[in-house]
Amino acid sequence: MGLELYKTSRRAKEIFDLVDTSLSFPLSKLMFDGPTSELEKTINSQPAIMAASLASLAALEECAPCEQPEPVAFAGHSLGEYTSLVAAGVVDLADGFRLVRERGSLMQRAAERQSGGMAAIIGLDDVTLEEVCQETGVEIANVNSDDQIVISGDRIALARAMDLASARGARKTIPLAVAGAFHSQLMAPAQEGLCQALGQTTFREPKAPIVANLSGQKLTTGEEIKEELKNQLCNCVRWKQSVECMIDMGVSTFVEFGPGRVLTSLVKRIDRQAKTANVGDVDSAQKVAVQSSSL
């Protein structure tokens, strides 16, 4: 994970080196060599994904000509919101990695304390799914698009909710390979520790607005963003609303950084007219750099 970036981009290598220094732990070695079972632990996977995403951004900045369009907004889905804060200059790189590793550690301990999970529900409206949640005790964790909503909760309740959603007309229910019931009240044991970590971190105004997970609205001050993160852990990520907010702000091109194309796919589900691009390696960074210079 991220090895190609490390080997081929000087700026990306600096990101991986800095994450190791910030955490006093060779996370990059774990990313490059495994074992996968250790990398997949929440305490490691969260800073690893952040490192790969910021390394992809660094690779683009290295490839890009001097004149590049300024971002209209920054946003990220759940963990990605922290990555967006570093990209927008709200928190320092080292502070961002330390925050995310602490977040991952707290979430992992909360998940071990009470077993839970998440599932994607495809093709069921939010009103009907909210009724399912009320009947079973699970919670809506992510509103990703009109036809993709994620629920979260205790594993027994989650299984009941999936069955009930299918009976109420869902086209598909997909259990997610996650370690716990994220963005639900089962993460409450992690919230106090995260608030302490946030309180010890300096937050600045972003270079461009952050579009919040919880409200789907613009945040323009460090204090607003800090409050957002305090509540994000146990509440719903409204990605669909966030994307619609950015479109209303005039965003026509969305660039996703890091491994995978999940957010790109969701943006296309929300607005088929939106232009999208992914940067996950040096080749894609070079391609997007050329395209963005003409915007």
Which residue in the list 77, 105, 183, 184 is annotated as catalytic?
A: 183
Domain boundaries, position 199: 3-112+185-292
> Are residues 204 and 273 located together in one domain of the fold?
yes
* Residue % of the chain over a pLDDT of 90: 92
Q: Which of 157, 175, 193 is the last residue of a domain?
A: 175
> Are residues 93 and 191 located together in one domain of the fold?
yes
Q: Label the pairing between strands 275-279 and 253-257.
A: parallel
Say whether 78 is catalytic.
yes
What band does 36 get if pLDDT is binned at 50, 70 and 90? very high
Distances (CA, A) of 286 to 66, 148, 281: 14, 32, 9
> Are residues 124 and 48 located together in one domain of the fold?
no
User: Alpha-carbon dihedral of residues 204, 87, 199, 39, nearest 10 degrees?
Assistant: -170
Q: Stretch 65-75: mean pLDDT, rounded?
A: 84
Residue in the structure block whose two tokens are 């109420």: 168
Q: Stretch 118-142: mean pLDDT, rounded?
A: 97
Low-confidence winner among 57-71, 89-103, 123-137, 243-257 (lowest mean pLDDT) = 57-71
> Are residues 276 and 234 located together in one domain of the fold?
yes
| Residue 11 CB coordination number (10 Å) | 17
CATH of the domain at 160: 3.30.70.250
Q: Is 128 exposed, middle or buried (CB count within 10 Å of its CB: 0-12, 13-18, 19+)?
A: middle
Instruction: Report pLDDT for 259.
Output: 87
> Are residues 83 and 9 located together in one domain of the fold?
yes
Instruction: Evaluate if residue 143 carries a pLDDT over 60.
Output: yes
User: Crossing angle for the helix pair 42-63 and 282-292, nearest 10 degrees?
Assistant: 50
Instruction: Report the mean per-residue pLDDT for the chain.
Output: 95
CATH of the domain at 53: 3.40.366.10
Instruction: Evaluate if residue 69 carries a pLDDT over 90.
Output: no
| 3-class state of residue 1 by DSSP | coil
> Are residues 131 and 221 located together in one domain of the fold?
no
> Are residues 273 and 198 located together in one domain of the fold?
yes
Instruction: Report pLDDT for 140.
Output: 98
> Are residues 128 and 209 located together in one domain of the fold?
no
Q: Would residue 159 count as lying in a domain? A: yes
Q: Stretch 111-115: mean pLDDT, rounded?
A: 91
| Residue 15 CB coordination number (10 Å) | 26
Instruction: Evaluate if residue 95 carries a pLDDT over 70.
Output: yes
Q: Which of 149, 175, 201 is the last residue of a domain?
A: 175
Instruction: Report pLDDT for 293.
Output: 62
Q: Would residue 14 count as lying in a domain? A: yes
> Are residues 7 and 102 located together in one domain of the fold?
yes
**φ, ψ (nearest 5 deg) of residue 25:** -160, 135
> Are residues 34 and 18 located together in one domain of the fold?
yes
Number of domains, the chain: 2
Instruction: Report pLDDT for 260.
Output: 86
Q: Would residue 272 count as lying in a domain? A: yes
Instruction: Evaluate if residue 295 carries a pLDDT over 60.
Output: no
Q: Label the pairing between strands 210-211 and 148-154.
A: unpaired
Instruction: Evaluate if residue 279 carries a pLDDT over 60.
Output: yes
Q: Which of 175, 196, 227 is the last residue of a domain?
A: 175
pTM of the model: 0.94
Instruction: Report pLDDT for 197.
Output: 97
Pick from 197, 259, 276, 237: which is nearest to 57 by CA? 259
Measured distance CA(293)–CA(295) in Å, rounded: 6
Distances (CA, A) of 276 to 56, 92, 143, 242, 251: 16, 27, 20, 15, 11
Q: Would residue 180 count as lying in a domain? A: no
> Are residues 100 and 198 located together in one domain of the fold?
yes
> Are residues 103 and 209 located together in one domain of the fold?
yes
Q: Would residue 165 count as lying in a domain? A: yes
